[in-house]
């Protein structure tokens, strides 16, 4: 059934970063190969390394990417060895199987295919031409690069990103092999180096002989060491040590990949939004970092954001700019807000959350003063009263004002409501899911989504057709009975039971 999809916030952030990238490139002679189901396998099989964009011609974000992708393809075609960029129209029916094979969930999706297509990886790099070029140059080379001098280490480690360095007494053995395997698997997200001489590294113990791993980072304690080479443990070390204790939400491109990972994480999120020009910024940062150290191990991740750069987050979460400095917690089933927070209030407030004494915040439109339309308007603040506590049979639609499918459904629900208006035990209602928090009782993955809550206390997802007749029949079939009445079919069942009892008594009498 057609629905309008809800957009995850991580996708909105990615979109924001894409739209903020430069798009001044002029189209040159097409350097991007055009693939389809007919030539895809042949072309991919001819390349050890090829990059494929799955796009749709009508997709605005694909159009935004196109000149950058083309410019990058032109530059990379002159690289030694050349790097091939290609594209597939994933909206074309003949390419449907390709989209399924590479798990294309949205547009544009970019895949890096290695070893004649046997190894497919998600492209997680920049969306501007220069960024694409630099990212893919690293990808096409070895997963880890050997460094032999202080100059090598200084040039390649730098201070702008996470770099993982393996130090070994010799380039061989299980530790070295595991390091190289992890480097291959994680090369999309991190730079890897290896060396025989730990003394050339810019930070940390110069006497390290290895085997050891030293992770360099431009945040927190600047480096971290490990001597465990089990693959799973090494990957976990890199993921944890290579992620900031507190993520920064601003326009600095260096922070973008951490920002995306932050919002992709399903755990509880603590966010502090304020103006980075605030005179108390250092006090806020100090207290917030201390909170992250104390509560980060409780599956809470921390972010500090400049209110000027975080407008998308404010809109998505329903926050008010007038309430900054604002401390906000997004848990799996609830939200918590501390407006106009002071630096010395951060730790006590997080302790209240940890202790379970905070009251959740609910984003809600105002409760309507009058509900005189056929379909009642429900908001988060009165949903329990209207749906769960009214004792009525309630059909509730979750909709988005911009959703075309919802707009088509609106007059049909009006017709349903008018048809059932004489049944005082039935309520037809709707809630704007973009301006009201959705309770955890309801799974809303797209719009419109409809649920029916009967007066008997049964919550059902409506999966039927979208005609007035089908909806009305569903309500009549599933609604609860009035007090003192049995549900449909109960009278017949009771009569059958009484007849069975009478027959049983007659049988006993006959035996006596």
* Region of poorest pLDDT, from 26-30, 80-84, 336-340: 26-30
Check residue 247 and give its pLDDT: 95
Check residue 213 and give its pLDDT: 97
As beta bridge partners, residue 52 has: 86, 111
Please give the Cα distance from 157 to 331 (Å, whole number): 36
Check residue 160 and give its pLDDT: 74
Residue 230 lies in a domain: yes
Question: Do 228 and 250 fall within a single domain?
Answer: no
What percentage of the chain has pLDDT greater than the value 70? 88
Task: Please give the backbone phi and psi of residue 241, each rounded to the nearest 5 degrees, phi first.
Answer: -70, -25
Q: Are residues 187 and 143 in contact, defined by beta-carbon separation less than 8 angstroms?
A: yes
Number of Cβ within a 10 Å radius of residue 317: 19
407 has a pLDDT exceeding 50: yes
In 77-158, where does DSSP find H-type helix?
Answer: 96-101, 129-140, 150-157
* Nearest in space to 301 (alpha carbons), one of 332, 265, 325: 265
Taking residues 382-402, what's their average pLDDT? 96
3-state DSSP call for residue 63?
helix
Number of Cβ within a 10 Å radius of residue 359: 8
Taking residues 231-235, what's their average pLDDT? 97
Check residue 475 and give its pLDDT: 97
Check residue 38 and give its pLDDT: 95
Is 4 catalytic? The answer is no
Question: Do 250 and 168 fall within a single domain?
Answer: no
- Arithmetic mean of pLDDT over the chain: 88
Question: Do 210 and 307 fall within a single domain?
Answer: no
Question: Do 130 and 154 fall within a single domain?
Answer: no
Q: How confident is the model at residue 16 (pLDDT cuts 50, 70, 90)?
A: low
Please pick, among 13, 62, 300, 341, the residue that the annotation labels catalytic: 62
Residue 9 lies in a domain: no
Please pick, among 33, 59, 181, 358, the residue that the annotation labels catalytic: 59
* Nearest in space to 8 (alpha carbons), one of 273, 316, 220, 290: 316
As beta bridge partners, residue 401 has: none
Question: Do 56 and 117 fall within a single domain?
Answer: yes
Number of Cβ within a 10 Å radius of residue 300: 19
Check residue 248 and give its pLDDT: 94
Q: How confident is the model at residue 496 (pLDDT cuts 50, 70, 90)?
A: very low
Residue 495 lies in a domain: no
The residue ranking higher by pLDDT, 205 or 470, is 470
Residue 334 lies in a domain: yes
Candidate ranges 4-8, 197-201, 360-364; pick with highest mean pLDDT: 197-201
Taking residues 16-27, what's their average pLDDT? 45
Looking at 241, 267, 298, the residue that finishes a domain is 241
Please give the Cα distance from 180 to 162 (Å, whole number): 17
What percentage of the chain has pLDDT greater than the value 90? 68
Residue 87 lies in a domain: yes
Looking at 197, 215, 241, the residue that finishes a domain is 241
- As given in the structure block, the two tokens for residue 377 are 């308007």
Name the residue range of residue 176's domain.
Answer: 144-241
What beta strand segments (E) does 426-477 contain?
426-432, 446-447, 449-453, 459-461
The residue ranking higher by pLDDT, 21 or 81, is 81
* C-alpha dihedral, 133 to 181 to 243 to 108, nearest 10°: 40
Q: In terms of DSSP bridges, do strands 268-274 and 326-330 run parallel, antiparallel, or are they unpaired?
A: antiparallel
501 has a pLDDT exceeding 50: no
Check residue 506 and give its pLDDT: 44
As beta bridge partners, residue 145 has: 193
As beta bridge partners, residue 460 has: 452
Looking at 202, 222, 241, the residue that finishes a domain is 241
Question: Do 49 and 136 fall within a single domain?
Answer: yes
204 has a pLDDT exceeding 90: no
Question: Do 136 and 65 fall within a single domain?
Answer: yes
Number of Cβ within a 10 Å radius of residue 402: 10
**What kind and span of H or E run contains 146?**
strand 144-146
Please pick, among 403, 420, 428, 431, the residue that the annotation labels catalytic: 403
- As given in the structure block, the two tokens for residue 459 are 């919550």
Q: Are residues 226 and 164 in contact, defined by beta-carbon separation less than 8 angstroms?
A: no
Residue 34 lies in a domain: yes
Question: Do 99 and 200 fall within a single domain?
Answer: no
Q: How confident is the model at residue 312 (pLDDT cuts 50, 70, 90)?
A: confident
3-state DSSP call for residue 35?
strand
Q: In terms of DSSP bridges, do strands 144-146 and 109-114 run parallel, antiparallel, or are they unpaired?
A: unpaired
pLDDT in tens, 442-452: 999 899 999 99
3-state DSSP call for residue 191?
strand
Please give the Cα distance from 511 to 226 (Å, whole number): 87
Q: Which residues are within 8 A (CB) of 107 and not within 5 positions of it... i.e. 6 or more apart?
A: 54, 55, 56, 59, 61, 62, 90, 91
3-state DSSP call for residue 509?
helix
Check residue 494 and give its pLDDT: 41
Candidate ranges 9-13, 117-121, 184-188, 335-339; pick with highest mean pLDDT: 335-339
**What kind and span of H or E run contains 256?**
helix 256-264
Check residue 311 and give its pLDDT: 84
Q: Is 149 exposed, middle or buried (0-12, 13-18, 19+ CB in 10 A)?
A: exposed
Question: Do 149 and 58 fall within a single domain?
Answer: no
Q: How many domains does the chain have?
A: 4
Residue 134 lies in a domain: yes
Q: What is the pTM of this model?
A: 0.67
Please pick, among 406, 426, 428, 471, the residue that the annotation labels catalytic: 406
Task: Read off the CATH number of the domain in which 462 is found.
Answer: 3.40.30.10
Q: Which residues are within 8 A (CB) of 158 and not within 5 positions of it... i.e. 6 or more apart?
A: none
Please give the Cα distance from 147 to 171 (Å, whole number): 12
Q: How confident is the model at residue 306 (pLDDT cuts 50, 70, 90)?
A: very high
135 has a pLDDT exceeding 60: yes
Question: Do 203 and 218 fall within a single domain?
Answer: yes
Question: Do 121 and 30 fall within a single domain?
Answer: yes
Question: Do 426 and 460 fall within a single domain?
Answer: yes
Rounded to 5°, the CA angle 210-211-216 comes to 80
89 has a pLDDT exceeding 90: yes
167 has a pLDDT exceeding 90: yes
Residue 49 lies in a domain: yes
260 has a pLDDT exceeding 70: yes
pLDDT in tens, 270-286: 999 999 999 999 999 99
């Amino acid at each position: 059934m057609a629905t309008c999809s809800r957009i995850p916030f991580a996708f909105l952030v990615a979109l924001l970063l894409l739209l903020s990238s430069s798009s001044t490139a002029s189209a040159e002679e097409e350097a991007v190969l055009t693939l389809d189901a007919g030539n895809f396998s042949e072309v991919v099989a001819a390349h050890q390394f090829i990059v494929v964009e799955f796009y749709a011609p009508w997709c605005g974000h694909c159009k935004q990417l196109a000149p950058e992708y083309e410019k990058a393809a032109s530059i990379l075609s002159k690289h030694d060895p050349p790097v091939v960029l290609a594209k597939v129209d994933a909206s074309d029916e003949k390419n449907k199987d390709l989209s399924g094979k590479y798990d294309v969930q949205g547009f544009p999706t970019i895949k890096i295919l290695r070893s004649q297509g046997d190894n497919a990886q998600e492209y997680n790099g920049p969306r501007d031409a220069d960024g694409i070029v630099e990212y893919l140059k690293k990808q096409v080379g070895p997963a880890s690069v050997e460094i032999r001098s202080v100059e090598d280490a200084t040039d390649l480690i730098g201070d702008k990103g996470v770099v993982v360095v393996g130090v070994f007494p010799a380039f061989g053995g299980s530790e070295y092999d595991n390091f190289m395997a992890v480097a291959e698997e994680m090369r999309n997200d991190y730079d890897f180096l290896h060396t025989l001489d730990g003394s050339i590294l810019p930070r940390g113990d110069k006497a390290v002989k290895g085997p050891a791993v030293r992770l360099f980072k431009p945040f927190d304690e600047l480096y971290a060491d490990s001597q465990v080479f089990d693959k799973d443990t090494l990957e976990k070390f890199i993921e944890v040590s290579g992620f900031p204790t507190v993520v920064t939400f601003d326009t600095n491109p260096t922070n973008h990949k951490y920002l995306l990972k932050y919002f992709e994480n399903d755990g509880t999120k603590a966010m502090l939004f304020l103006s980075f020009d605030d005179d108390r910024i250092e006090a806020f940062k100090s207290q917030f970092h201390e909170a992250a150290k104390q509560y980060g191990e409780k599956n809470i991740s921390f972010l500090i954001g400049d209110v000027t750069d975080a407008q998308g987050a404010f809109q998505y979460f329903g926050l008010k700019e007038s309430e900054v400095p604002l401390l906000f917690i997004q848990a799996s089933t609830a939200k918590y807000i501390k407006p106009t927070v002071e630096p010395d209030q951060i730790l006590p407030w997080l302790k209240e959350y940890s202790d379970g004494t905070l009251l959740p915040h609910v984003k809600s439109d105002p409760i309507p003063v009058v509900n005189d339309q056929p379909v009642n308007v429900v908001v988060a603040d009165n949903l329990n009263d209207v749906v769960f506590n009214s004792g009525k049979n309630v059909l509730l639609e979750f909709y988005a004002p911009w959703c075309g499918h919802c707009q088509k459904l609106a007059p049909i629900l009006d017709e349903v409501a008018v048809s059932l208006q004489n049944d005082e035990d039935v309520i037809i209602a709707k809630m704007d899911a973009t301006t009201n928090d959705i309770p955890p009782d309801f799974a809303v993955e797209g719009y419109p989504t409809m649920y029916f809550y009967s007066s008997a206390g049964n919550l059902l997802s409506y999966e039927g057709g979208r005609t007035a007749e089908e909806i009305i029949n569903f309500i009549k079939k599933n609604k609860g009975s009035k007090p003192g009445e049995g549900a449909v079919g109960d009278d017949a069942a009771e009569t059958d039971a009484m007849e069975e009892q009478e027959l049983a008594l007659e049988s006993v009498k006959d035996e006596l």
